[in-house]
A and B are shown apart, each in its own frame.
Chain A
Amino acid sequence: MTETPVVICHDLEKVLGPPQAPVRAVAGVSLRLERGELTLIMGPSGSGKTTLLALIGGLLHPTRGEVQILGVNVWRLRPRERTLFRLRHIGFVFQQPSLLPSLTARENVALVMAPNGLSAREALRKADELLEKVGLRGRGSSFSATLSGGEQQRVVIARALANDPELILADEPTASLDSRTGQEVMEEIRKRVKERGRAALVVTHDHRLLPLADRVIWMEDGRVREA
Chain B
Amino acid sequence: MALRYLLGERIRLGVSLAGVAVPAGLILFQLALQHGINTQISIYLQNQKAPLWVLQEGVRDLVSVSVMPRSVLRQVALVPGVERAVGMVATYVNMEVKDRQTPVSIVAFDPRLGGGPWKLAGLERPPTPEDLALGEDEVIVDEAFALKNGLRVGDRISLPGTREKFTVVAYSRETNTLGSQYLFVSHRAAGKILPGGERIVTAVMVYPEPGVDPASLAAAIESRVQGVNAVLMEEVARRNREYVGAFFLPIIGFGMLVGFLVGLTVTGLTLYHSIMEKVRELALMKALGLEDRWVGLLILTQGLLIGLGGFVLGVPLGLAGAWGVSRAVPGLNASLTLPSLLLALLLSLLMAGTASLLPLLRLRKVDPASVFRP
Contacts and interface: CB of A to CB of B under 8 A. Distances in A.
B369 A84 contact: no
Contacts of B290: 83, 87, 111-112, 115
A102 B4 contact: yes
Interface residues of B, number: 20
B138 to A, nearest CB: 74
A92 B284 CA distance: 10
B300 to A, nearest CB: 16
A57 B255 CA distance: 53
Contact of B294 (A90, A107, A115): A115
A25 B4 CA distance: 39
A77 interface: no
Contacts of B374: 95-96
A85 B372 CA distance: 19
B329 to A, nearest CB: 48
A54 interface: yes
Contacts of A84: 289, 291
B1 interface: yes
A88 interface: yes
A115 B291 contact: yes
A85 B289 CA distance: 7
B8 A98 contact: no
A103 interface: yes
A6 B140 CA distance: 95
Contact of B289 (A53, A86, A102): A86
A100 B294 CA distance: 15
B371 A107 contact: no
Contacts, number: 64
B281 interface: yes
Nearest to B373: A50
Given A59-B372, A98-B371, A159 B8 contact: no
A88 B372 contact: no
Contact of A59 (B285, B287, B292, B294): B287
A92 B288 CA distance: 7
A103 B284 CA distance: 14
Nearest to B371: A94
A46 interface: no
A57 B288 CA distance: 10
A103 B372 contact: no
A86 B1 contact: no
Nearest to A85: B289
Interface residues of A, number: 29
Contact of A88 (B289, B291, B368, B371): B289
Contacts of A100: 281, 284-285
B228 to A, nearest CB: 69
A50 B372 contact: yes
Contacts of A87: 288-290
Contacts of B5: 102
A133 to B, nearest CB: 19
B95 to A, nearest CB: 66
Contacts of B192: none
Contacts of B288: 86-87, 92, 111-112, 159
Contacts of A171: 372
Nearest to A104: B4
B1 A102 contact: yes
Contact of A102 (B8, B287, B368, B369): B8
A59 B294 CA distance: 18
Contacts of A92: 287-288, 371
Contacts of B368: 59
Contact of A60 (B8, B291, B294, B369): B369
Given A90-B289, A112-B290, 11 more contacts: A59-B371, A86-B288, A86-B289, A92-B287, A96-B374, A102-B1, A102-B4, A103-B4, A115-B289, A115-B290, A115-B294
11 contacts: A50-B372, A53-B372, A54-B372, A83-B286, A83-B289, A95-B372, A101-B8, A102-B8, A111-B285, A111-B288, A112-B288
Interface of B: 1, 4-5, 8, 281, 284-292, 294, 368-369, 371-372, 374
